[in-house]
């Protein structure tokens, strides 16, 4: 079992729709959860992090964390073609600063 | 804030030569830096973790004598690919964390092509 699992996609949504990206993790003791966006040929850029159960909103992005079910999700409202990228879920298992990364979900927003 | 730079952004070298890649935290002190490698259409692979003034911790399967990491200061870490071969061609990305936090900020990456 991988430490962090994501649906590789591709996920396609029409412009203006809500894109929902999901991630599950295996280490129940994990405390920190991160979403990164990676455009093709570029390095990952941080979208947001979440530490507590519930929702955290930042602009069009909402991260949702459910530690009991060991999943974290990212919602992108009013999706734009510029949101087309691979989204990486990362989890800190609390054994140091090393992250476990998922393989990423490829999102395409269709104009 | 939390800007990480890498130099060079791309490099082409001949097989057998060594290549040094620099990773700098521009506006913060990086207590820990990480080096990743990413092949086309694959996920990030952690190569090593380095703390300033300490020897790097390499992931299983990464040759420490081939990928030399030096974290000489709180703002600079270097990765040297020694005796590079075509199979070392990849996208090398560093990241850094500030003291007291675990958020990793990534550099823009260095694309290495070994001929």
| Chain A, chain B: beta-carbon pairs less than 8 Å apart | 45
With CA atoms as reference, the chain A residue closest to B96 would be A97
pLDDT at A9: 84
Please answer whether residues B16 and B83 qualify as being in contact, where contact means their C-beta atoms are separated by less than 8 angstroms: yes
pLDDT at A98: 79
B34 in reach of chain A (CB within 8 A): yes
Write the burial class of residue A59 (CB in 10 Å: 0-12 exposed, 13-18 middle, 19+ buried).
exposed
Q: Which residues of A are less than 8 Å from B32 in CB distance?
A: 97
- With an 8 Å Cβ cutoff, are A97 and B49 in contact? yes
φ/ψ (deg, to 5) at B39 = -90, 160
| Residues B92, B77: Cα–Cα separation, whole Å | 13
Q: What is the mean pLDDT of the segment spanning B101-105?
A: 90
- With an 8 Å Cβ cutoff, are B103 and A46 in contact? yes
With CA atoms as reference, the chain B residue closest to A44 would be B106
| Residues B53, A110: Cα–Cα separation, whole Å | 48
B54-101, pLDDT tens digit by residue? 889 999 999 999 999 998 899 999 999 999 999 999 999 999 998 778
Question: Is residue B24 very low, low, confident or very high in pLDDT (cuts 50, 70, 90)?
Answer: very high
CA distance A63 to chain B (A): 15
Q: Is residue B13 pLDDT above 80, yes or no?
A: yes
A61-108, pLDDT tens digit by residue? 999 999 999 999 999 999 999 999 999 999 998 766 678 999 999 999
- With an 8 Å Cβ cutoff, are B104 and A99 in contact? yes
Q: Is residue A1 pLDDT above 80, yes or no?
A: no
Q: What is the mean pLDDT of the segment spanning A11-23?
A: 97
- With an 8 Å Cβ cutoff, are A101 and B102 in contact? no
Q: Which residues of B are less than 8 Å from A102 in CB distance?
A: 43
What six digits make up the tokens of B54?
């300490």
Q: Which residues of B are less than 8 Å from A34 in CB distance?
A: 103-104
For chain B, give the percent of residues with pLDDT over 90. 81
A 31-50 → B contacts, CB under 8 A: 32, 34, 36, 41-46, 49
| Residues B115, B112: Cα–Cα separation, whole Å | 10
CA distances from B35 to A8, A18, A57, A72 (A): 23, 34, 30, 25
Q: What is the mean pLDDT of the segment spanning A53-60?
A: 96
A37-56, pLDDT tens digit by residue? 999 999 999 999 999 999 99
pLDDT at A25: 95
């Amino acid at each position: 079992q991988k430490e962090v699992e994501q649906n590789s996609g591709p996920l396609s949504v029409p412009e203006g729709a809500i894109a929902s990206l999901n991630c599950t993790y295996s280490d129940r003791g994990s405390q920190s959860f991160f979403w990164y966006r990676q455009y093709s040929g570029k390095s990952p850029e941080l979208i947001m992090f979440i530490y507590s159960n519930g929702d955290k909103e930042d602009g069009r992005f909402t991260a949702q964390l459910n530690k009991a079910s060991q999943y974290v999700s990212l919602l992108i409202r009013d999706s734009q073609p510029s949101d087309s990228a691979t989204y990486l879920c990362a989890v800190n298992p609390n054994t140091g600063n090393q992250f476990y990364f998922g393989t990423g979900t490829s999102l395409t927003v269709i104009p | 804030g939390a800007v990480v730079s890498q130099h060079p952004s791309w490099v082409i070298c001949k097989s057998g030569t060594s290549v040094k890649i620099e990773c700098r935290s521009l506006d913060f002190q990086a207590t820990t830096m990480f080096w990743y490698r990413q092949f086309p259409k694959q996920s990030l692979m952690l190569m090593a973790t380095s703390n300033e003034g300490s020897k790097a911790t390499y992931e299983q399967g990464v040759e420490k004598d081939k990928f030399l990491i030096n974290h000489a200061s709180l703002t600079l870490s270097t990765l040297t690919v020694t005796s590079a071969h075509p199979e070392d061609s990849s996208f090398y990305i560093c990241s850094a964390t500030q003291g007291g936090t675990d958020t990793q900020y990534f550099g823009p990456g260095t694309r290495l092509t070994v001929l």
